[in-house]
């Protein structure tokens, strides 16, 4: 399959931004524009309600919304289905005292998704290292009506986990730079990845994996953190299962009592799981989620979730 063929099998996904209006209203509005509920592949004007992700709709791959007032006003977010998985798996609290971090935020699709799941309550720190991408992030957050987000143009690795500001942080989303090898409809997702020009692929992947490992270990140093989601839009085990394996073997995971969340906490209804042969314990693969471009009607993606075992006597898988 060529990249174009695989891209043609990926619907145009639209996440209704529930911070700005309810999904039922969005559906009514789309129907009044001539769309109808059917299959995204049946007709140019057909759309479906996603079976895995709440508030997600899928349209024919040719449908464009970039000039649509619904997109420009932040009522809908153009976000691939797989890229909605991390916020759902993180399941941030929506209470007034909730404190959550999005460690690598720009352009902000997952940040606004987290903010919506938190119903604009509590506080969501959104870090972004790159200045230009940070500016895209702030535009996107204000358009999406995210009022509980504090965007900061800061390198997450320089953030002191022991700073009292962060003592109540319980949930961290970590979606760092990766090779982007899972992205097939690149034009749509150009903003989500940092493309680096390097010929030595293996060396590049190893370098990215080293950085990704450092980021997850840093997240584990926040004293109150209970749940960390690590995701990539890569299909390479080096950036996915191998990073998970190295995290689990790290001093940070051991001293912090972190392990993988059980499979029933990580999108249990999703069929494609991690690669067993790439892990120390093949049984851990069931806790990991993968998406394969062309096969799963999404871009390639990987999601893992680390949880802190608060009772030292209870042992998770």
Compare residues 35 and 230 and give the one whose CB is closer to ligand SAM. 230
- What is the biggest distance separating any 2 CA atoms in the chain, rounded to whole angstroms? 58
Q: Which stretch binds ligand SAM (CB under 6 A): 141-149, 190-198, 246-254, 259-267?
A: 190-198
The single residue among 17, 148, 177, 240 that binds ligand SAM, judged by CB under 6 A, is: 177
**Residue 107, interface with ligand SAM (CB under 6 A)?**
yes
For residue 229, what are the β-bridge partners? 173, 305
| Nearest of 268, 245, 255, 264 to residue 309 by alpha carbon | 255
Q: Smallest distance from the beta carbon of 69 to ligand SAM, in angstroms?
A: 22
Does the annotation count 233 as an active-site position?
yes
**Residue 176, interface with ligand SAM (CB under 6 A)?**
yes
Q: Which of 84, 146, 178, 233 is catalytic?
A: 233
CA distance linking residue 213 with residue 239, whole number of Å: 9
With CB atoms as reference, the residue minimizing the distance to ligand SAM is 104
Q: Is 128 marked as a binding-site residue?
A: yes
Classify residue 138 by burial, with Cβ atoms within 10 Å: 0-12, 13-18, 19+: middle
The structure tokens 């909605």 sit at 84
Q: Which stretch binds ligand SAM (CB under 6 A): 40-48, 61-69, 108-116, 309-317?
A: 108-116
**Residue 301, interface with ligand SAM (CB under 6 A)?**
no
Q: Which residues of the chain form contacts with ligand SAM (CB under 6 A)?
A: 83, 104-110, 127-130, 133, 155-157, 175-177, 192-194
């Amino acid at each position: 399959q060529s990249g174009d063929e695989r891209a043609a099998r990926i619907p145009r996904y639209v996440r209704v931004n529930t911070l700005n209006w309810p999904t039922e209203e969005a559906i009514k509005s789309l129907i009044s524009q001539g769309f109808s509920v059917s299959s995204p592949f049946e007709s140019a004007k057909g759309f479906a309600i996603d079976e895995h992700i709440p508030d997600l709709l899928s349209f024919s791959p040719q449908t464009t919304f970039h000039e649509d007032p619904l997109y420009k006003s932040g009522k809908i977010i153009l976000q691939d289905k797989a890229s909605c998985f991390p916020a759902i798996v993180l399941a941030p609290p929506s209470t007034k005292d909730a404190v959550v971090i999005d460690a690598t935020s720009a352009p902000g699709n997952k940040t606004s998704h987290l903010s919506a799941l938190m119903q604009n309550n509590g506080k969501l720190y959104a870090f972004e290292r790159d200045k230009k991408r940070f500016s895209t992030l702030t535009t996107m957050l204000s358009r999406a009506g995210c009022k509980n987000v504090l965007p900061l143009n800061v390198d997450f690795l320089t953030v002191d986990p022991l700073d009292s500001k962060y003592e109540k942080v319980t949930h961290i989303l970590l979606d760092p730079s990766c090779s982007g090898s899972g992205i097939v409809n690149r034009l749509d997702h150009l903003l989500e990845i940092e493309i680096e020009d390097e010929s030595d692929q293996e060396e590049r992947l190893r370098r990215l994996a080293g950085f990704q490992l450092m980021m997850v270990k840093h997240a584990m140093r926040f004293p109150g953190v209970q749940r960390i989601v690590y995701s990539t839009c890569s299909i390479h085990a080096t950036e996915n299962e191998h990073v998970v394996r190295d995290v689990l073997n790290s001093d940070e995971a051991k001293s912090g009592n972190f392990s993988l969340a059980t499979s029933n906490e990580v999108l249990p209804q999703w069929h494609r799981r991690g690669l067993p042969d790439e892990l120390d314990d093949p049984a851990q693969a069931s806790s990991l989620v993968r998406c394969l471009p062309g096969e799963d009607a999404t871009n390639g993606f990987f999601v893992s979730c680390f949880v802190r075992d608060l009772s030292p006597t209870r042992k998770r898988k």
